[in-house]
Amino acid sequence: MPTTIQVEESTKQLLDEIKRRERASSYNEVIMRLAKEKSKVPDSMFGALGRARSMKVILRGLRDERDRI
């Protein structure tokens, strides 16, 4: 069931540009593509920390020395 939504002119222009660039057939298609892209959960976080580092380096500074009992 189609519905009407209100967006600012700048938002419509951006949607027009994406629609043209992606060769989408409708605004609905553009919005669905954007929503799916943003809602993706990565399959793996492998490599998220960049280059391999030791756990000591990664954890450095996470706990204050005065915090210890």
Q: What is the pLDDT of residues 7-24, one digit of tens each?
A: 999 999 999 999 999 999
Q: Is the pLDDT of residue 56 over 80?
A: no
- Residue 23, domain extent: 7-42
Write down the number of H helices and E strands in the chain.
3, 0
Split into its structural domains, the chain has a count of: 1
- The answer to whether residue 64 sits within a structural domain is no
- The answer to whether residue 61 sits within a structural domain is no
- Per-residue tokens: 21: 């660039």
Q: Is the pLDDT of residue 59 over 80?
A: no
For residue 68, what pLDDT is reported? Answer: 62
For residue 48, what pLDDT is reported? Answer: 74
Q: Considering the chain, what is the average pLDDT of its residues? A: 84
